[in-house]
Structure 1
Amino acid sequence: MAGRNSAWRTAAAGLCLLLLPAFAGCGHPPPDSAARAEVQRVLDRRAAALLGHDEAAYGTTGTRTPYARLRALPLASWTYRVTALRRDGTSADAELRYRLAGQDTAPVTARRTLTLSHTADGGWYVTAERAAHGAGEQLWDQGPVTAVTGAHSLVLGTGQSAAELRGYARLADRAVPAVSRAWGARWARRVVVLVPRSLDGMAALLGSPAAQYRGIAAVTTAETPGAGQAPADRVVVNPEAYAILGDLGKQVVLTHESAHVATRSATTAATPLWLSEGYADWTGYLGTTRTPAEVAPELTRAVADGHTPAALPADKDFGFTGDPAGLARSYESGWLACRMIADRWGEDRLRAFYRAVGAHRTRAGAVGSALAKVLDTTPEAFTARWRAYTRDQLG
């Protein structure tokens, strides 16, 4: 499942909030540009100490708790930019940008809230840091991070042993070459896998309700890239749903999510979910011995009952609706459509079709144009062929 990209204020009592001149009497300087610049300098020193592995210097800027939790991360960059300073000087909002060495070609951006206090000499001190209101947590917000590096992967977890995380790395290391064989080598050919402690931890990382991901084994998220940049993807695992899968299911999940990472630069607002999810599933099951009926059991039941879908699923059909069977049929329908393209036109044309759809700026006409250009067919003819293929493969 691909994820598609989605101020904290406290009410403080006290007379010093009512009149600006009272700041001096309450011990809080007004939040002018000088104060904001001072806070920025503290955060700059904090970032430099973290990158320089200097815990003592880090400790002079504030609490050392994040340092211990971040120790295992292979950081290539880490910067803060103060975006707001509270009137009473007790907290600030900041934009954190960081890159993982050997993994990210563009930084991850996170909105953070920092709690501040004054040192004895009147300087600034960070007493706590957390995700800003409405923003997703970072993995280290949930505890110390353990890192395992594979041949094609970096697996980061909280609450798991290194041995457990190596199991994820082994599957991810098999997934990446499999995706490259299907999609080609024009991608980073590495994946970053985040393994929180629980479903609730996964939801907190994604900034969404846990119910939205119940039963979903993993999702892929990406930072919106700047011009000419590739986004920073993360595969986020739901350890509760993932744990009940068999060996093949676990491999298919990580291959599916790695396919999303590979196809990210070719996936745009014009790409329908039946294509992006269908292609990821097609890649995940490629080379396995699973039959169409085994891969698509819900769609098989629908066909047996005489309910072959009239059209490919819309994007809304991939949302959490409380209908697991309907959601499964949507994924299965997309998978079967991509399988049909590979069978009828060839794998090269399937890749070319995916890229051609994503080359459009908007959804309108994108699929029809790509069908005509790459597959020499129309949406109506393609849908009719897909419905016949569905009946033939699953009937």
Structure 2
Amino acid sequence: MELDNSQLLRFTTAGSVDDGKSTLIGRLLYDSKSIFEDQLEAVETTSKKKGHEGVDLALFTDGLKDEREQGITIDVAYRYFTTPKRKFIIADTPGHIQYTRNMVTGASTANAAIILVDARHGVIEQTRRHAFIASLLQIPHIIVCVNKMDLVDFSEEVFNDIVKQFEEFSSKLLVKDIRFRPISALLGDNVVNRSENMPWYEGSTLLHTLETMHISSDINKVDARFPVQTVLRPQNEEHRDYRGYAGRVASGVLRPGDEVTVLPSGFTSRIKTIDAFEGALEEAYAPMSVSVTLEDDIDISRGDMIVRSNNKPEASQDIEVMLCWLNNSPAKPRAKYSVKHTSNEQKAMIKEILYKIDINTLDRSPDGEGLEMNDICKVKLRTTKPLLFDSYRENRTTGSLILIDEDTNETVAAGMIV
């Protein structure tokens, strides 16, 4: 079956420091001929100056190294490449443990995660942490690349042992599709081209896996959710009676004539029109940005949500959330923050820390002493007004939130509503 060329696969790469992530991405770009000529010439020149015999593949992705050494904050670097079969976006996150929080950012929209394991070291804490975050964010596919096979004499026994280590750990994770690939990013074995050094491996290469992997949409197409961002009241004479509610469709489908309820007020009406820049629409679906008009004049403001009357989200001031703490400063129970959820922003308090996750064992440890950076835990939040939400498992958009420190305006945590 021929694949749709317009298909876009978003994948994130994660691994510990020096696992060869930069070299792997460089190899993917280089061997798939996705490098611009001027960029290739610049890297070849730099490689020669450094005394390398061939091309230093890591140079294709190490543009952030200087900034990192200078102490400048690194977030997520996005890289794009295309093969005849598919288009790709790589979310490349730093490997240091203090940057684990960045994986949450890079992985939040990913269809797949590549987790690198050094064949010499096997499964370590960072491997477990990255796999758990991928599971927490419900990334449907994980590809475990056992890298640097050339440094263990391309040993099948070493590869099988690492597969066993990972499978013992991952049996507790909520990921259905986990694949293992023995590779050498430096030499190119099983990255784009098949390896002659590992005749015992009969599976596909990494690129072939990425090109043929089924992409399932993570958008909820059933539950219609339309968080209102702003109210449109044009001042010109032609449209002076127009009252539109603008925003981005979070999930589901909206059509003119649908009976809808406005939350939290509970007033009901029907959709009169759906308008976009190009004109009136017969339907709107996620993630389209549109303006909706209703048949009745209802008081609606930013943060309200328009939903189908027979299909409403949950509404509560007490919410259980899986949090990944992103900030250098620790958090304590009953600390107050601003919570941002869809277009709604209000005050919130960490009412209780229910438990933390031990990354090595995935065991739950009761600990109410506060949260440190990179901690992953389940908490109870109390908001000043009811939040309109679905569970993250059912709806990534209405099931996710962030906490913001009101004094510094820094994002301190990312949360997935249970």
TM-score (norm 1): 0.22
Q: Which has the higher strand share?
A: 2
TM-score (norm 2): 0.21
